Each structure stands twice: as structure tokens, then as C-alpha cells.
Amino acid sequence: MAYAAFRSIGAYVPSKILTNAELAVMVDTSDEWITKRTGIKERRISAKNETTSDMGVKAAKKAIERSGVDVGEIDMIICATISPDYFCMPSTATIISNKLGLANVTAFDISAACTGFVYILSIAKAFIESGMKKNILIIGAEKLSAITDYTDRGTCILFGDGAGAAIISATDNKEEAIIDIHTGADGTFADLLMTPNGGSGSMHDSLDREAAGCFMQMKGNETFKVAVRTLTKDVIEILQENKIDSSDVKHFIPHQANLRIIKAVGDALKFKDDQVVLTVAKFGNTSGASIPMAINDIYEEGKLKYGELMLLDAFGGGLTWGSALVPFSPLK
Ligand code: UT7
């Protein structure tokens, strides 16, 4: 049987920084409020002509370069995004495949909001374990600034842009294998986080995105409570089912939504501070890109080594959630 190994990580962050002080000029908020309630100090914003696929390609190139896998050996590309280059088609994954010069791969996007990266990791694992694919490029990429309402202080303080990518490859070495992935969804909470208009559920003639209400809306406080509950429950279950103690986890890498959510979950699970990976202060919430950007952060700081166990934990619109027990398994 083939196992799925997490071979490499890469990320891209736009150079433009949007600070809390700058947001305080745009909406009725303050650096103090944002820092206290979210832990976010700044977020990155892509250039006007920089697309989600542009960022995804830059992250992908780094992941490919670090993987030891030749670009021509990639047989599938999956992109997790809620801010695709184009609303319906083509998928951002196919645009990325073209920009990478790959003409004959399976390529598609999935929409699972902030849980997107855990979802695509689970799809990659399944395709590799079934023997259908050997080297899969997975990408979480978001230009959330394109769907953020910069007059709504309840959302615009949270979100930023960026991309992260990983290569998942077949291996026969069980020690290197992704251990387990849980994913779930509950549509009864669909209205907590949504872009209410612009889809087939509410057709609009207007192409003005603002007038058409194509921006994200969120019931922040309700989402917050469900997030803490769900993220904690999910981790308890995946650890118990796999008989792994939280002290065996080297890096707990939660979706970077809000420092208070991460702290509440980390405390409930009794993780020590040095186990918990935090990038929320400098990147804000980048939805499907947040987990691979955080993995890349510890990788580039030299803190992520061969064989170390990562526990990924995500939660987002849908509502969706997921967790994954993943040893870091670069080719030696
Ligand atoms: O990524 C996927 C999932 N997303 C999340 O997990 C995000 C979850 N939610 C959150 O992070 C938090 O709920 C927020 C940061 C969005 C809001 O923080 P909160 O502590 O839940 O605040 P709240 O919504 O309960 O609002 C408290 C007060 C309200 O004023 P009143 O009614 O008490 O007078 C808000 O109007 O804070 C006000 N407020 C703000 N004040 C200054 C809300 N946003 C702001 C703001 N600046 N940006």
C-alpha cells in the first residue's frame, strides 16, 4: 500500500503591509481594540493586479524546489480558495497549472473556507493511498482583500492575503506517512460567515461587487464561540483515536483566525506555548492559506525538522472544520 508523505512547504506573502493604525483611519476602530480582541497587528495586501493564482504559483515554486520532486512529476494540483481568480471558471488550480507549465494534470479547486488546506490535504492523502496519483501539489491561496468590505469594522480588521503550498508524495515508508485527517461540516451554521450575493442563490444584474453585496459578512461573536468549541473537540478526538498524547505533538498549527481563539483552544488542550505556532499578529486571517503559511514560517525559521509531528486544526465558513496529524517528511 502507498502512504502519503508531506514532503515540503512553501509560501508567498505580498510585500504591502496594512497596519491597524491605517485601518483606524478607514473605520471606527483602534490599534488597541484590534490587538486586544484579535492579536493582529498587521496583514499583507496583494498588489492590485496580483491574483490569487499569482500568489499560489510563487508559493508552489518554493514547495516544488524544496521537495526534490521534478515539476513534471506532479500529477495533480488542488487549490483551496474562497477568492479564486474567476468567480465560476476556470478554476484557480488550472490557471496555476498553466503558469507552472503543466499541461496534463488533474487540477481543481475546493471551497471549504478556512478549513480548505486540511480538506485538500485529506483529498491528496486519499488519491495517493488509492494509488491513483503519486505527487500532488496542494495550495491554499487567498486574495481576501478582493472580497473584504473595508467599511465593515467587524470583518476588515481580520483578513489578509497570501499563499502556502505543499507537495504530498507517495511513499512505502509508513514512518513518513500522514497519520490521520478528520474533516467535517455543518450547514446549519451556513449564515454565520458568508458572501450572501452574487451566486445562483441570489442573481444580480449589477457587476458592481459592492452594490451586489459580494463581500464577506460574518457574525463574529457567534462564530468565535462555535470555533473554540469545534476546534477543541476535533483535536481531542483525533488524538484519542490515534492514541497520541498532546505532548507528542511538536507543532500545534491552528488556523490563524484570532489569538483569543487560539489561546482558548491551546489552553483547553494543555499545549505549552512553545508547541503553538502563531503568525496571526503579522499576517492576520488568510483563510485557506493560513495553515500552510504558518507551517512555512516555522520551516524558514529552522524550527521544523524531519520526523516532527504537526497537528493541524482548522475551522471556517460553511461551517467546516478539520484536523490532521502530519509528520514532516522531506526527502533526506
Ligand atoms: O476564520 C474563520 C472564522 N472566523 C473567526 O473565527 C472569527 C471569529 N470572531 C472573532 O474573531 C471576533 O468575534 C471578532 C474579532 C470579529 C469580534 O470580537 P468580539 O470580541 O467577538 O466582539 P463583538 O462582536 O462581541 O463586539 C463587541 C463590541 C461591539 O460594540 P458594543 O455593541 O459592545 O457597543 C462591537 O460593535 O466591539 C465592537 N466592535 C469593534 N470596536 C472597535 C466590533 N468590531 C470592532 C472594531 N473596533 N473593529
Check if 33 has its Cβ closer than 6 Å to any atom of ligand 1: yes
Picking from 312, 243, 69, 299, the residue whose alpha carbon sits closest to that of residue 171 is 69
Determine the angle formed by the axes of helices 31-38 and 259-268, rounding to 10 degrees: 20
Instruction: Please tell me the class of the 1-332 domain.
Output: alpha beta
Q: How far apart are CA 122 and CA 60, in angstroms?
A: 18
Beta carbon of 38 within 6 Å of any ligand 1 atom: yes
Give mean pLDDT, residues 229-238: 94
154 CA distance to ligand 1 middle (Å)? 6
- Report the separation in Å between the CA atom of 220 and the middle of ligand 1, taken as the mean of its atom positions: 6
Contact 53 CB / ligand 1 (< 6 Å): no
Whether 277 contacts 217, CB under 8 Å: no
pTM across the whole model: 0.95
Nearest Cα residue to 265 out of 298, 296, 226, 291: 226
Catalytic residue among 20, 135, 258, 285: 285
Residue nearest to atom 10 of ligand 1 (CA): 220
C-alpha cell at 215: 463581500
Lowest mean pLDDT among 4-13, 75-84, 212-221: 212-221
Q: In the beta sheet, which residues pair with residue 80?
A: 110, 140
Residue whose CA is closest, atom 38 of ligand 1? 154
pLDDT of residue 177: 98
Where on the phi/psi map is residue 19: left (φ > 0), alpha (ψ -120 to 50), or beta?
beta
- Which residue in this structure is represented by grid cell 480582541? 37
Average pLDDT over all residues of the chain: 94
Report the share of the chain in percent with pLDDT over 90: 91
Distance CA 99, CA 217 (A): 32
Instruction: Please tell me the predicted confidence (pLDDT) of residue 210.
Output: 61
* Confidence (pLDDT) at 87: 84
The model's pLDDT over 50-60, given as tens digits with 9 standing for 90+, comes to: 999 999 999 99
User: 290-300 and 116-129 are packed helices; what angle lies between their axes, rounded to 10 degrees?
Assistant: 80
How many Cα atoms within 13 Å fall on the side-chain side of residue 168?
30
Q: Is 285 a catalytic residue?
A: yes
**321 by DSSP, 3-state: which?**
strand
Q: How far is the CA of 221 from the centre of ligand 1 (A)?
A: 6
Give yes or no for residue 62 having a pLDDT over 60: yes
